[in-house]
Structure 1
């Protein structure tokens, strides 16, 4: 049963029954509904703030996993980059130093990867994590570029190592005649008195005095480019091209043991000591040229010789005496 409401009328000084109109009922109902709707909305927001749906929970879990994987991937790339930097440092400061090669400039090692336009397809997708994804792609591309350059560098070093081995075998590094007692070097490189012209002039090689028929050896691997006989000058001579800018000349020979165009190895007999050409006694005149300029042969002798023997050679070669040719 509905409650009957009364209100006090000040004019009549009596309680009068309150009559509720339909409009009042409608207004009260709307007011109640509005307040209820507002309260429900705030309750829903509070519920969403503290509670999530299974679908939302799955998405949140997936986002956390993706973020974790991204951090792990980024760390792996940082570790790879550190290893690559170590290889680059060894390449520039060790390997290339040993093989006398210029280091690769940083401008080449750290070259660009093409800018943001390279990732236009990704940009067109309007990804929510666009910046993070593009940064990772740029990092990967930079690593790939640097690794490719490093692989190319190692290929070059491998080739240089092969050439270096060949170069060490080609350098005129032994004495051209047997000189175990260190007594056969009779005249060194430099200004010497010419035995026939009787004046001081550049002696472009060294002289080894030895009996006729003493074997003469190639001092490094190479190819025989000259085998000829002269009535004057060097007499019978052999010239070997060792590559890498080195050539050697063996003069005043008695006879040859090689032919022009023949490849020879260090220590191989190429002929025999004689007294031909402009020579005053049986001996071998031996020259070393680097890039077609005469150099002191003693400076290149390092095989099959001790430090004391090398010192003795230097001492004998420094004597300002008369050459034999």
Structure 2
């Protein structure tokens, strides 16, 4: 039972009962209810925004996102190590391998260029970590491209190395007569006195004096182009086509050890020293041709002479003496 309230009326000098107004009560109740409702909404929004209360699914997604973010950081760190290792290989490729084989270096902007198309990574937008994902994807694409370019470059270097190995095996690189079989290097490349006319004449080869029957060796890999006596002045002679524009010639032989079309290796015995053709004594007249021009054979003895032996031969070859043919 509610308490009855009174007030003192000064006009009548007596206490009177306070009569409650139903409208006022209803209004007060409505205002209080509305205040509680508004306060409840703001409180709920506040609690949702500060994430004090998350559902189990939200908590699981949050943990999953953090795990993905951690994995992306680990992937980026691994890519950084791979980029450093690849950069080291690229540096060697440009500054050593390609220089050695006389190939043009690959520019950095070509190795590290991105991919065309401004919308290439638009499908990765809209995620919580979109920027990290897009950056990782771009780095991964560029890294893959650099690896492909480097792989092609190494294939090219391998081919150049194989070609260089074949080239080095084919070009003339040793003496046609061994040092221990030589009497002397009788005459070199250059102006000499003709043994028959005594006139000054250019000598296009080198004369290696040795006993008749001394072995004559192929100075490089190649194919026997000629083995006959049908060239004026050379007598029995052999020509080897080494490829790359190189031909070597061995003249005044006593006999052959090869036939036309035969493949020979550097160091194979192809014939024997003699005194056939236009010759003043047993020797091997040796010439080297490049692209149809006769050049100084002295430039090609790196495969059989020591530095001391080379210097001695160089000195002997420059003497303007009488040739043997």
TM-score bracket, shorter-length normalisation = 0.7 to 0.9
Residue 65 and residue 231 in structure 1: after superposition, are their counterparts in 2 closer, same or farther (change >3 A)?
closer
TM-score normalized with structure 2 length = 0.86
The one-character-per-residue Cα deviations of 1:158-206 (angstroms, maximum 9, x if unpaired) are: 3333333323322322110122376421111233333345444443221
SS of the residue aligned with 2:63? helix
1:186 paired with 2:186, answer: yes
Deviates more, 1:40-49 or 1:4-13: 4-13
Residue 50 and residue 142 in structure 1: after superposition, are their counterparts in 2 closer, same or farther (change >3 A)?
closer
After superposition, residues 129-148 of structure 1 pair within 5 angstroms as 129-148=129-148
The one-character-per-residue Cα deviations of 1:236-258 (angstroms, maximum 9, x if unpaired) are: 32111222333211122232221
1:253 paired with 2:242, answer: no
Give, in whole Å, the separation in 2 of the partners of 1:248 and 1:307: 23
Give, in whole Å, the separation in 1 of the partners of 2:12 and 2:191: 151
Partner of 1:269: 269
1:140 CA drift (Å): 1.5
SS of the residue aligned with 2:90? helix
Give, in whole Å, the separation in 2 of the partners of 1:6 and 1:300: 135
SS of the residue aligned with 1:225? strand
Gaps of 5+ in 1: none
Give, in whole Å, the separation in 2 of the partners of 1:69 and 1:12: 88
Whether the 8 Å contact between 2:69 and 2:129 is mirrored in structure 1 is: no
Q: CA RMSD in A?
A: 2.8
1:69 CA drift (Å): 0.6
Give, in whole Å, the separation in 2 of the partners of 1:262 and 1:8: 145
Partner of 1:70: 72
1:236 paired with 2:240, answer: no
Residue 183 and residue 104 in structure 1: after superposition, are their counterparts in 2 closer, same or farther (change >3 A)?
farther
Within the candidate set 69, 77, 86, 1:84 is matched to 86
SS of the residue aligned with 2:298? helix
Gaps of 5+ in 2: none
After superposition, residues 157-176 of structure 1 pair within 5 angstroms as 157-176=157-176
1:104 CA drift (Å): 2.7
Give, in whole Å, the separation in 2 of the partners of 1:52 and 1:182: 102
Give, in whole Å, the separation in 1 of the partners of 2:261 and 2:149: 40
Deviates more, 1:295-304 or 1:14-23: 14-23
Whether the 8 Å contact between 2:181 and 2:210 is mirrored in structure 1 is: no
Whether the 8 Å contact between 2:171 and 2:221 is mirrored in structure 1 is: yes
Whether the 8 Å contact between 2:212 and 2:282 is mirrored in structure 1 is: yes
1:305 CA drift (Å): 2.8
Whether the 8 Å contact between 1:234 and 1:251 is mirrored in structure 2 is: yes
After superposition, residues 174-323 of structure 1 pair within 5 angstroms as 174-180=174-180, 183-196=183-196, 198-230=198-230, 232-323=232-323
Residue 277 and residue 15 in structure 1: after superposition, are their counterparts in 2 closer, same or farther (change >3 A)?
farther
Give, in whole Å, the separation in 2 of the partners of 1:249 and 1:119: 66
1:128 CA drift (Å): 4.4
The one-character-per-residue Cα deviations of 1:87-131 (angstroms, maximum 9, x if unpaired) are: 1112222223333333233344234333344446x25x7444433
Whether the 8 Å contact between 1:182 and 1:312 is mirrored in structure 2 is: no
SS of the residue aligned with 1:180? helix
Give, in whole Å, the separation in 2 of the partners of 1:324 and 1:13: 166
After superposition, residues 22-101 of structure 1 pair within 5 angstroms as 22-48=22-48, 49=50, 51-53=52-54, 54-101=56-103
Give, in whole Å, the separation in 2 of the partners of 1:100 and 1:191: 35
Give, in whole Å, the separation in 1 of the partners of 2:167 and 2:72: 50
Give, in whole Å, the separation in 2 of the partners of 1:108 and 1:249: 48
1:316 CA drift (Å): 1.0
